[in-house]
Amino acid sequence: MSKGKMAAQCAHAAILCFQKAQCSANKETQEILELWLASGQPKIVLRVGGHNDLITLQEEAEKLGILAVIVYDAGHTQLDAGTATVLGIGPDKNSKINKLVSHLNLL
């Protein structure tokens, strides 16, 4: 993927997570979303080894009760349709997210 394509996929993930948090009926999720917005919507982009890591991390996030959404590309440009490109995680408490991703390096 080009840098621009990567950035667009990360932007998709951010909006999908944001929408999921907005639509959640969970009061704690609403509070976390408000805090996240009030603190400047921090985002960090990390690198994984490949497709299987995205699936595994999503499963682990769900076990921990953390919002997690995989972006599947529509296949209009550089990738095959249905390719998983990014896993969006959160917003959630730093301590919970760190448990999940502290072993990963920055992109």
Name the site residues for a copy of itself (rule: CB under 8 A).
Answer: 2-15, 18, 40-41, 43-47, 74, 106-107
Residue 58: which of 50, 48, 70 has the closest Cα? 70
CB of 104 to a copy of itself, least distance (A): 11
Distances (CA, A) of 74 to 47, 92, 94: 21, 28, 31
- Is the C-alpha dihedral spanning 11, 30, 100, 97 positive or negative? positive
Toward a copy of itself, which CB reaches closer, 4 or 65?
A: 4
| Between 10 and 97, CB nearer to a copy of itself | 10
Radius of gyration over alpha carbons of the chain, in Å? 14
Q: Closest separation between CB of residue 77 and a copy of itself, Å?
A: 9
Largest separation between any pair of C-alpha atoms in the chain: 40
- Give min distance, CB of 40 to a copy of itself, in A: 6
Please give the DSSP secondary-structure letter assigned to residue 64.
T
- Residue 7 or 55: which CB sits closer to a copy of itself? 7
Task: Please report how close the Cβ of residue 107 comes to a copy of itself at its closest, in angstroms.
Answer: 3
